[in-house]
Amino acid sequence: MTYCVAMNLEQGLLFGGDTRTNAGVDHISTFRKLYTFSNDKTHALAILCSGNLGTSQALIELLRKEIRANESNLLNHTSLFDCAKHVGKRLREIIHGYSEEDYDKKVDFSGSLLLGGQIKGEAPRLFFVYPQGNFIESTRETPYFQIGEHKYGKPILERTLEYTTPLNIALSSMVVSLDSTIKSNLSVGLPMDVLIYEKDSFNLDRYRRFNEYDQEFLAARKYWLDGLRRLIEEFPELKV
Amino acid sequence: MTYCVAMNLEQGLLFGGDTRTNAGVDHISTFRKLYTFSNDKTHALAILCSGNLGTSQALIELLRKEIRANESNLLNHTSLFDCAKHVGKRLREIIHGYSEEDYDKKVDFSGSLLLGGQIKGEAPRLFFVYPQGNFIESTRETPYFQIGEHKYGKPILERTLEYTTPLNIALSSMVVSLDSTIKSNLSVGLPMDVLIYEKDSFNLDRYRRFNEYDQEFLAARKYWLDGLRRLIEEFPELKV
């Protein structure tokens, strides 16, 4: 399983994801699910993947190959909408490229992804791309999307995240959301990747990986645990 | 859908559940999912139900009928383990009583339940009863069970609940867990029922229903929202 979340806010975009892949509980590996595409000037894009790892790796490989070959690709579209269409088409082709026979054996080649970024001339945009190739875009009212194991990490986002939330505060919500999921579901695990994109910067260098030995992350985790416990202890009395 | 949670702690038992039932998003009703069985002296039991409402109503009706008829019933077993066995057997019988033909039409008659309480001579006990009629018991390490839409409300329990948590603190965790689920999933809704059973009291009168007009509940909800937002705003800085 996987848990990834992306946000399109007033100040820019945030991306976060775990790195666990599993085929059963006894076959667990670490794979990055966050990929970036950029030319540092006019195009800055990031993709978060969930679902079949073979499918998402094939997709990323293909997208990079198109860039190298200078064909129609993610770095020469003039709108992120066209990039979403492009990625959706490729994703669908890959999923439909597997044989009927394997689908009959209930192998799931499917996958969804989040595509966000900015192309010069547009505001930053964020899309949720489905395995069927269609997609939806985030809005001010719904400024974030989740893929994979999304339920555990949703309450904190619902309660603390708005379009106007500053990037550093939104980062905290995102880290708590990811960590809540990691603590509750074995199939979602550390390390976690986070990426911050500041509006109009066309720069994707604000990236960090948190692992289980990261003292700053462990201190933040303890802060949250202690804070929640204190909040619960001081909860208003409910007469029952 | 449904979300119910029950806890077996050092000081006693807690039960909580929403009251929403739905057959599609346009067929929503309010039904109590918490039932009690007691003689005020030697037996104090509560059941929380999830799954098919027809199944759980048929089960409760049957259990009450057995008590009235003074047959083998929940109020004359000498151990809660035997009650769990009894309830599991009845649940399985009801689920298997429906016709093959309807199962072929993909109607789901299944359901799970939580059975907790105390019988004189034993400590309070809590069981998770499966549609197959088998069951598991809570322990010090795992002092709570959830049924239904359990994911949204799990992180807060994981972080704030232990076997030694006092009942009033555990009540706050439970209310937050239920409210997180209600806010995140349309198929789980107010009012919510809560029941507190103090160890060795054989009394099930500490019951309350919270609805959307309950000022005390609304104040608690606001306290939680404000508290979480403050915690996120004061989150330790993570350099990215």
**Any residues with CB less than 8 A from the CB of B48 and at least 6 apart, and which?**
B4, B5, B6, B15, B16, B17, B33, B34, B113, B114, B147
In a domain, A128, yes or no: yes
Order of strands, sheet of B43-51, starting from the edge strand that comes earlier in the sequence: B34-38, B43-51, B111-119, B125-129, B135-137
Hey, of B146, B208, B225, B228, which one would you mutate to test binding to chain A, going by the most A CBs within 10 A of its CB?
B228
Residue at token pair 């699910």: A33
pLDDT of B102 reads 73
Residue A118 confidence (pLDDT) above 80: yes
Residue at token pair 């949703």: A154
Q: Are strands A3-9 and A144-148 parallel, antiparallel or unpaired?
A: antiparallel
Three-class secondary structure of residue B37 per DSSP:
strand
For the entire predicted model, the pTM comes to 0.90
Q: What is the domain extent for residue B181?
A: 3-213
DSSP B145: E
Strand partners, A125: A117
CB within 8 Å: A155 and B180: yes
In a domain, B31, yes or no: yes
In a domain, B119, yes or no: yes
The minimum CA-CA distance between B125 and chain A, rounded to whole Å, is 21
Measure Cα distances from A25 to A110, A180, A216, B130 in Å: 20, 19, 29, 23
What is the average pLDDT value for chain B, to the nearest integer?
93
Candidate from B168, B237, B240 with C-beta closest to A196: B240
Total domain count, chain A: 1
Mean pLDDT, residues A96-106: 77
Candidate from A195, A207, A223 with C-beta closest to B236: A223
In a domain, B221, yes or no: no
Residue B106 confidence (pLDDT) above 80: no
Instruction: Give the integer Cα–Cα distance in Å for A163 and A146.
Output: 15
Query: Are A176 and B155 in contact, with CB atoms under 8 Å apart?
Result: no
Instruction: Give the integer Cα–Cα distance in Å for A88 and A91.
Output: 5
In a domain, A105, yes or no: yes
Mean pLDDT, residues B9-33: 87
In a domain, A24, yes or no: yes
Mean pLDDT, residues B93-119: 87
- How do residues B163-204 score in pLDDT, each as one tens digit? 999 999 999 999 999 999 988 888 888 899 999 999 999 999
- ipTM summary value: 0.89
Residue B103 confidence (pLDDT) above 80: no
Mean pLDDT, residues A167-175: 97
Cα nearest neighbour of A16 on chain B: B240
> Tokens for B233?
């705003």
Query: Are B144 and B157 in contact, with CB atoms under 8 Å apart?
Result: yes
Residue type, B121: G
pLDDT of B153 reads 94
| Cβ neighbours of A24 (radius 10 Å) | 7
| Sign of the alpha-carbon torsion through B214, B220, B224, B230 | positive
Widest pairwise Cα distance in chain B: 69
Query: Are B20 and B189 in contact, with CB atoms under 8 Å apart?
Result: yes
- How do residues A199-239 score in pLDDT, each as one tens digit? 999 999 999 999 999 999 999 999 999 999 999 999 999 99
Helix A80-96 crosses helix A53-68 at what angle (to 10 degrees)?
Answer: 130
**CATH (domain of A171):** 3.60.20.10
DSSP A185: -
In a domain, B225, yes or no: no
Measure Cα distances from B58 to B31, B97, B128, B134, B203 in Å: 14, 11, 19, 19, 25
In a domain, A232, yes or no: no
Hey, of B9, B159, B177, B209, which one would you mutate to test binding to chain A, going by the most A CBs within 10 A of its CB?
B159
- How sure is the predictor about B220, in pLDDT bands with cuts at 50, 70 and 90? very high
* H/E run at residue A17: strand A12-17
Hey, of A178, A180, A231, A237, which one would you mutate to test binding to chain B, going by the most B CBs within 10 A of its CB?
A231
